Amino acid sequence: MFDLNTIVRRNIRDLKPYSSARDEFKGEANIFLDANENSLGSPLVKWYNRYPDPLQLKVKEKISFVKQVPTDHIFLGNGSDEAIDLLYRCFCEPGIDEVIVFPPTYGMYEVSANINNIKTVKISLTKDFQLDLPSLEEAIKPSTKIIWICSPNNPSGNAIEREDIEMILNNFDGLVVVDEAYVNFSKHQSFINVLNEYPNLVVLQTLSKAWGLAGLRLGMAFASTEIIGYLNKVKPPYNISEPVQELALTALDEVGQVNDMIRELVSSRELVKTELLLLSEVLEVYPSDANFLLVKFKDAKAMYEHLIMNGIVVRDRSNVILCDECLRITIGTEQENAVLLDSIKSYSINLK
């Protein structure tokens, strides 16, 4: 039986969080003399001399409407990476606790663990890039606090079997974090719809991918009110700037445009995959539920260098477990995709 009190760090449970001026005042006012701001304004066009809402309530209200999740189940971070770091700081004792990751996967789970002095236990995905549940069962210890699952997975692109994730949620007494950065490009249903069923579930999403706002660095965590409460307790007081909040509010009104972009990118993904499979240098294109493709070449490093020479940057994943001779290729614009395919074709011609 999952009990959050048994995994939260004692110092975090007992922590008295910093209380900013904006935290202490609730309501409307005309004159603010509480936060030592520059009352004369700023040299910028907009007046950014005031501190932003520390809990980003207006943004959360719009996200709540879009995602159909109550605002008190939402945490906003400076990218998903901030939420990843805070989960370690709230729930893992440095030098004592462990977490489990499933390589190949997003590298920040391990990097952030190392920064926080948390041991990372690695259980390789199967050759089909799915979870190895028997090995996971053997690896779980009383000191295991978090299991990280990236679905759709990066760099393989595939969604993890939902039944396997549910099996873990039902049988693990720590946190299960499902990172859904690419879920908008997938036909699989998000786990945010079952938050109430699993008190140990944390779902990560982002505005960086489908929403096209990578430059804003706005990540989202969805979880129980208790877990969100701890994240808010530990985060810096003003972790999301006023310009980011304003731009996010504007973007969140454009759900229709975002859905159009998603459909276009998914369609392009399938077209690029079809074209790649016709090329002699391509050995395999793995199934993808994301906005990228993992592609196996006869000689990935040579192809990578060839593309660089042609001004095209892709991600070389050939040194990553299960990704021998693989490049990860993001789906670009129609013109960018055409240039990419032509460049790969020219490599094959030059070999002849």
Residue 352 has pLDDT above 70, yes or no: no
Spell out the residues 6+ positions from residue 91 whose beta carbon is closer than 8 angstroms to its own: 7, 8, 9, 12, 97, 145, 146, 174, 175, 230
The predicted-structure confidence for 58-96, as pLDDT tens digits, reads as follows 999 999 999 999 999 999 999 999 999 999 999 999 999
Residue 34 has pLDDT above 80, yes or no: yes
Percent over 70 (pLDDT), the chain: 99
Residue 329 has pLDDT above 90, yes or no: yes
Residue 23 has pLDDT above 90, yes or no: no
Residue 179 has pLDDT above 80, yes or no: yes
In Å, what is the CA distance from 80 to each residue of 28, 62, 179, 203?
Answer: 31, 18, 9, 10
Q: Which of 123, 107, 124 is nearest to 115 (CA)?
A: 107
Question: What does the pLDDT read at residue 307?
Answer: 97
Residue 27 has pLDDT above 80, yes or no: no
Give 43-58 as a DSSP string.
SSSS---SPPPTT-HH
Spell out the residues 6+ positions from residue 114 whose beta carbon is closer than 8 angstroms to its own: 120
Residue 47 binned pLDDT confidence (cut-offs 50, 70, 90): confident
Sign of the CA dihedral running 234, 237, 240, 246: positive
Q: Please name the helix (run of DSSP H) or strand (run of DSSP E) that holds residue 345, with its range, or none.
A: helix 334-351
Sign of the CA dihedral running 288, 293, 146, 70: negative
Query: Mean of the pLDDT values across residues 12-39?
Result: 86
Domains and CATH numbers, the chain: 4-253 (3.40.640.10), 256-351 (3.90.1150.10)
The predicted-structure confidence for 126-139, as pLDDT tens digits, reads as follows 999 999 999 999 99
Percent over 90 (pLDDT), the chain: 89
Question: What does the pLDDT read at residue 28?
Answer: 79
Question: What does the pLDDT read at residue 162?
Answer: 98
Please indicate whether residue 40 or residue 171 has the higher confidence score (pLDDT). 171
Sign of the CA dihedral running 18, 24, 29, 32: negative
Give 100-126 as a DSSP string.
EE-SSS-THHHHHHHHTT-EEEE----
Helix, strand, coil proportions of the chain in percent (round to 5)? 40, 15, 45
Query: Mean of the pLDDT values across residues 196-215?
Result: 97
Question: What does the pLDDT read at residue 20?
Answer: 86
Residue 19 binned pLDDT confidence (cut-offs 50, 70, 90): confident
Mean pLDDT in the chain?
Answer: 95
Residue 189 has pLDDT above 70, yes or no: yes
Residue 45 binned pLDDT confidence (cut-offs 50, 70, 90): low
Question: What does the pLDDT read at residue 65?
Answer: 98
Residue given tokens 């994240």 in the structure block: 231
Terminal CA-to-CA distance of the chain, rounded, Å? 63
Residue 145 binned pLDDT confidence (cut-offs 50, 70, 90): very high
> Whole-prediction pTM value?
0.96
